[in-house]
Amino acid sequence: MKIFSIVGWSGSGKTTLITRLIENFKANQKRVVAVKSTHAGYALQPEAKDTARFLRAGADEAYLVAENELLRMTRLGDPQELMAELRAQLRPNDIVLLEGFCPPGIPVIEVEDPQRQKAMKFPPEKLAAVITSAGAPCRLPCFHPDQITAISAFMEEYHEKQH
């Protein structure tokens, strides 16, 4: 599988970039999986409803089916379990886009927001590429957020070069 972690400060454009990458990969007949990590809790259903009650009762997995969509909730002990789960479930040519976390060994692309006065989240040596609208030269592969085709090609080629 071709997997990347997309990182950046809140509001930098990570989700927008990921949705545009998904659309581009799907237009090219690719299978895409997106994984979002949040430090806040989530509410798929109100706390008193069935799915939440199943998980609170100790179910290892709970499934929610609604209008031809299946949502699978699995309890994970640590981040390494997520990677093992992904490897077991996904196909070799799947494109996997992680937002909000960086498991060890996964290439990282940072989305920089030049309007912010903060430094980048990660040091350059930890990054595979940078997405920025600043237009400033950079030592890493650098893309404008609108260069979706070029970013997608870079992602596919990156994994080809690694193997």
Mind listing the pLDDT tens digit for each residue in 24-36? Answer: 999 999 999 998 8
| Exposure b/e, 58-74, CB count within 10 A at least 16 = b | eeeebeeeeeeeeeebe
pTM metric for this prediction = 0.81
> Can you name the residues that pair with 70 across neighbouring β-strands?
65
Mind listing the pLDDT tens digit for each residue in 66-117? Answer: 888 887 777 777 767 877 887 888 888 899 999 988 888 899 999 998 777 7
pLDDT of 130: 94
pLDDT of 104: 84
Nearby residues of 47 by Cβ (< 8 Å), 6 or more positions away: none
Mind listing the pLDDT tens digit for each residue in 11-57? Answer: 899 999 999 999 999 999 999 999 887 655 555 555 557 877 787 78
- Going by C-alpha positions, the residue among 149, 123, 108 that lies closest to residue 4 is 108
pLDDT of 27: 96
CATH value of 2-40+77-162 in 3.60.70.12, 3.30.360.10, 3.40.50.300, 3.55.40.20: 3.40.50.300
pLDDT of 119: 80
